[in-house]
Chain A
Amino acid sequence: MVKAGLSVPLALLMTFTVFAGSAQLAALPLMAVGAPIWVIWATAFCVNLRFVIFSAQWRPFFMRFPLKQRLLLGYISADLSYVLFMKRYQTPSADEAVGQVEYFLGGTTLNWCAWQIPSVIGILLADRIPTDWGLGFAGVLALLGLIYSLLSDKATALAAVVAGAAAVAAFALPFRLHIVVAIAAAVCVGLMIDGSGGAGRRVRDVLLRAGGRSSGEQTSQRAVSA
């Protein structure tokens, strides 16, 4: 974060408030080049969309708490706590003795500390690490590993390839809009090849109704759905 041009206090603010590694890694290069704030937020929102999906599964476990506590539970939940928790408890239990939320809190508290301590060390030591070693690339490799771990089938793999290619092809767009283009392209292609095809037809209808604005994309979508 400090290498991306943030001052130490700002970097500390970011690590403690924005508890989301992948969103931070995606947002920092954008902040460094001075992208518009809404693009940075939109990118972070998209990177965080997986948590939206997770939250639907958290809902039955958390609804018995008041809103403020639910938001706090949301803030500390993370990929790892989701995976471990859902493996251990399939159904919510009203019985306090089962200790589901205690299990969640234990895991997430440890996870929060394990994340924040190295973060703070990194922020404070940033100036002592030379840039020409290319250590910044470690962030790219971290995201790459995260991408690989999200690949679950051929549809997601193809969507990732499409997003990468679209991002490179549209890179010259202003305001880092190539990221938005890439997400739109990947979601369309994903829907085209995923499931019964009903969803794909609906997306194609919407696009056709929108007129010939993106005729090239429609052609490729027809090719995919045929």
Chain B
Amino acid sequence: MNDLEAVVTILGLAVITVVTRSFFFISSRELVLPDWVQRGLRFAPLAALAAVVVPEIVMTQGQLIGTWQDARLFAVVAATAYFFWKRGILGTIVCGMAVLIPLKLGLGW
């Protein structure tokens, strides 16, 4: 991706940010989505995030990992445990990284 493409991508992302956040108060006309679309929308953000995150955890260069000796798996377990204990995102990151870095640097996983 060259610089021009990157700028176009970034400016497009900026427009998307503003349009999605303002979606229902851009038009002065009342806009009502069908009920099933509204309920479907509830799942889309979660799905998009999971689709980005899960391959980052269980895949290496397009292949599913075949070993449990991967620092990422242990980091995710620790982060998950922290989240459901304290419900804080910052602590989730810190906890996961506290497991990941020693395993990566110490054991080379």
In the complex, A142 Cα to B104 Cα: how many Å?
19
- With a cutoff of 8 Å between Cβ atoms, the chain A residues found around residue B8 in the complex are 37
Interface size on B, residues (CB 8 A): 68
In this complex, what residue of B is CB-closest to A5? B1
Interface size on A, residues (CB 8 A): 95
A48 touches B92 (CB 8 A): no
Given contacts A167-B51, A168-B59, A195-B39, contact A18 B13 (CB under 8 A): yes
- The reply to whether the CB of B68 lies closer than 8 angstroms to some CB of chain A is no
- The reply to whether the CB of B40 lies closer than 8 angstroms to some CB of chain A is yes
- What are the 8 A-B residue pairs with the smallest beta carbon separation, nearest first? A74-B22, A164-B54, A186-B47, A199-B36, A182-B51, A145-B89, A190-B43, A163-B47
A145 touches B93 (CB 8 A): yes
In this complex, what residue of B is CB-closest to A182? B51
- With a cutoff of 8 Å between Cβ atoms, the chain B residues found around residue A162 in the complex are 47
Chain A residues 1-37 with CB under 8 Å of chain B are 5-7, 10, 13-14, 17-20, 22-27, 29, 31, 34, 37
| B51 CB contact (under 8 Å) in A24, A52, A163, A202 | A163
| A137 CB contact (under 8 Å) in B46, B51, B62, B75 | B75
- With a cutoff of 8 Å between Cβ atoms, the chain B residues found around residue A112 in the complex are none
B contact residues vs A (CB 8 Å cutoff): 1, 3, 5-14, 16-18, 20-26, 28, 35-36, 38-59, 62, 64, 71-72, 75-76, 79-80, 83-84, 87-89, 92-93, 96-97, 100-101, 104-105
A contact residues vs B (CB 8 Å cutoff): 5-7, 10, 13-14, 17-20, 22-27, 29, 31, 34, 37, 40-41, 43-56, 58-59, 62-63, 67, 70-71, 73-75, 77, 132-135, 137-138, 140-151, 155-156, 159-168, 171-172, 178-179, 182-183, 185-187, 189-191, 194-195, 198-199, 202-203
- With a cutoff of 8 Å between Cβ atoms, the chain A residues found around residue B62 in the complex are 171-172
A170 to chain B, nearest CB (A): 9
In this complex, what residue of A is CB-closest to B2? A34
In the complex, A133 Cα to B49 Cα: how many Å?
24
B21 to chain A, nearest CB (A): 4
- With a cutoff of 8 Å between Cβ atoms, the chain B residues found around residue A171 in the complex are 55, 59, 62
A10 touches B1 (CB 8 A): no
A43 touches B25 (CB 8 A): no
B42 touches A156 (CB 8 A): yes
A168 touches B64 (CB 8 A): yes
B41 to chain A, nearest CB (A): 6
